[in-house]
Amino acid sequence: MTKPNSTQRPNIRRQGEVHGGGAIPLLRVRKGASLKALYAAARRSFSAADLQKYTENEDSIPARLLLGEFERLDREEMKKRKSKARNGRSQ
């Protein structure tokens, strides 16, 4: 005979596992620990892999392409302004 589900122990996370979507790691310290002890535990648990998450290179647009696009848009806007000014004078 198996035990009913209500008497099973809840799934407890182990140290080092992450909470929810992986954004906040659990930090286990003893009850009543000082702020100094909390910071020390946080420094010890922070690894190179944690730092790597914030230093990964992201794909970006080269500056020359971006500048070329801005220049093209500027030329188009200048043409619109010139044609608008000509149309306004002839009326």
Number of domains the chain contains: 2
Give the three-state DSSP class for 24.
Answer: strand
Whether 8 is in a domain gets the answer: no
Report the candidate in 12, 43, 11 with the shortest Cα–Cα distance to residue 27. Answer: 43
Whether 5 is in a domain gets the answer: no
Q: What is the pLDDT of residue 10?
A: 46
pLDDT (average), residues 58-65: 86
Q: What is the pLDDT of residue 66?
A: 92
Mean pLDDT of the chain: 77
Residue 58 has pLDDT above 90, yes or no: no
pLDDT (average), residues 41-63: 83
Whether 51 is in a domain gets the answer: no
Domain carrying residue 88: 62-91
Question: What is the band of 48 on the pLDDT scale with cuts at 50, 70, 90?
Answer: confident
Whether 66 is in a domain gets the answer: yes
Alpha helix (H) ranges present in the chain?
Answer: 35-45, 48-55, 63-90
Question: What is the band of 22 on the pLDDT scale with cuts at 50, 70, 90?
Answer: low
Give the three-state DSSP class for 38.
Answer: helix
User: 66 and 90 share a domain?
Assistant: yes
Task: Give the whole-angstrom CA distance, residue 47 versus residue 15.
Answer: 14
Q: What is the pLDDT of residue 86?
A: 80
Residue 27 has pLDDT above 50, yes or no: yes
User: 42 and 66 share a domain?
Assistant: no
Task: Give the whole-angstrom CA distance, residue 19 versus residue 21.
Answer: 6
Query: Are residues 48 and 56 in contact, defined by beta-carbon separation less than 8 angstroms?
Result: no
